[in-house]
Every structure is written in C-alpha cells, then in structure tokens.
Amino acid sequence: MKSFWEKISEDLRGELRKFGHLRTFYSDEIIFDFGGKANNLPIIIEGKVKMVRYPELGKEVIIGLFQSGDMFAMPPVIDGGVYPATAVSLEESKILMIYRDDFLKLMQNDAELSGNVTLLMCGLLRDTAATIQNLATSSPEQRIANVLLQLSEKQTDGKISLRRQDIAEMAGLTTETTIRVIRKLADKNLVKIVRGKIFIEQLERLRDFVNQI
C-alpha cells in the first residue's frame, strides 16, 4: 500500500516542501503533546512515529503508528482543535512540519491535496472503528491477531518491527499475555518467530483466521 507521500505528484511534494520546515526528531523524542494546540501538520519523510495516550501513571496505550511517507494528525489541524494524543518518534525521524494556516491555504487551492486528505480521513475513520471493535472483544487472541494483521498490511517484507510491549499496548493487554498469545499463533503456523522477531509469511491465512473468530 502506497503512503501519502508516494501517491502525490512531484509538484505537490515541492509545494509542501516549500511551505514546510524539515525537522529531525531522535528516538523517543516528543513531537507534540496531548492537548497542545494543533498548529502544525506533520508528514514523515523518514522514520517511524507512534501516537499514544497515558490513561494512568505508568500505562501507555498506542492509538496510532505511522512510518515514512505518512501524514497524520489531520483532524485537529483542520478544525483548529488540540492534538488528541502525544506523538513520539520510535527512531531517528525526519518530519516535515507545515504550519496550519499554510496547510489550509494549500488545501483550498490544490485539488490533489484536498482529495488525498479526504481519502486519508476516510481511512482514519475505518481504522478508528476497527480499533474500537478490536478493543471491545473479550478474546486476547483476537486482539493480537487483529493488531498483527493491521501492522503486516503496512509492511512489504512481512516483518513486524514493533516490540511485544508495543503490540500489547495497541491491543490493550499486558506484555505477558501478548507473549503467550503470539506463541499460540506461532504454534498454529499463523506467524513465524525467528530470533525473537515476528514474521507474517501468509497474510491471507492470518486474515482468514481473524475473520473466523
């Protein structure tokens, strides 16, 4: 699946670069905080970012993962609200930050940009609905399988680069439970574990398993 940056034309990339400011964020560095005014629209040129909420002290819930080419945090930037979560870089990342007023002007004047943003917003709604449905289920196996399916659909090599802890936080489970469930999925040949890394070699089998639960 192509990212936002890969889908748009070189002319539009040039416009976004012209108005944006390229910043480097190092691993575990905060890009913006929950509740902060959404003054900048981020586009990841290189790297990976997670959006997280901290419902209680010491507990983290991942509500979104983004990688090279992705644009994120569109809704609060468009409506002038606040960021709904904290964004943290998972590795050294280069991010194009576009000031809200400039982004809105580009949206008004560029049909390609507004069309792609509309598609991204539709995808965001689908992902949010899927996350809510996944967290509502009582089956840890289903939660983990769904998370792995979402992650694998964004990869081309089948490798899941997130830690067990990150997967647990996305599924709303403990790390210990997540480790046990992943082992069960490996026993069913739905995932493969090589030197501690998770690989999805047969995406359709995992998808069929999720749909059958």
Please report, for the chain, the start and end positions of each structural domain, with discontinuous segments joined by +.
4-134, 138-212
Q: What pLDDT is recorded for position 70?
A: 95
Evaluated on CA atoms 170, 174, 180, 184, the torsion sign reads: negative
Q: DSSP secondary-structure letter at 69? A: T
Mean pLDDT score, 140-147: 86
Give the ranges where the chain is alpha helix by DSSP (H).
4-7, 10-19, 74-79, 100-109, 111-136, 140-152, 164-171, 175-187, 203-212
Give the CATH class of 4-134: mainly beta
4-134 and 138-212 agree in CATH topology: no
CATH topology of domain 138-212: Arc Repressor Mutant, subunit A (1.10.10)
Residue 154 CA, chain-centre distance (Å), reads 9
pLDDT tens digits, 44-92: 999 999 999 887 777 778 888 899 999 999 999 999 999 999 999 999 9
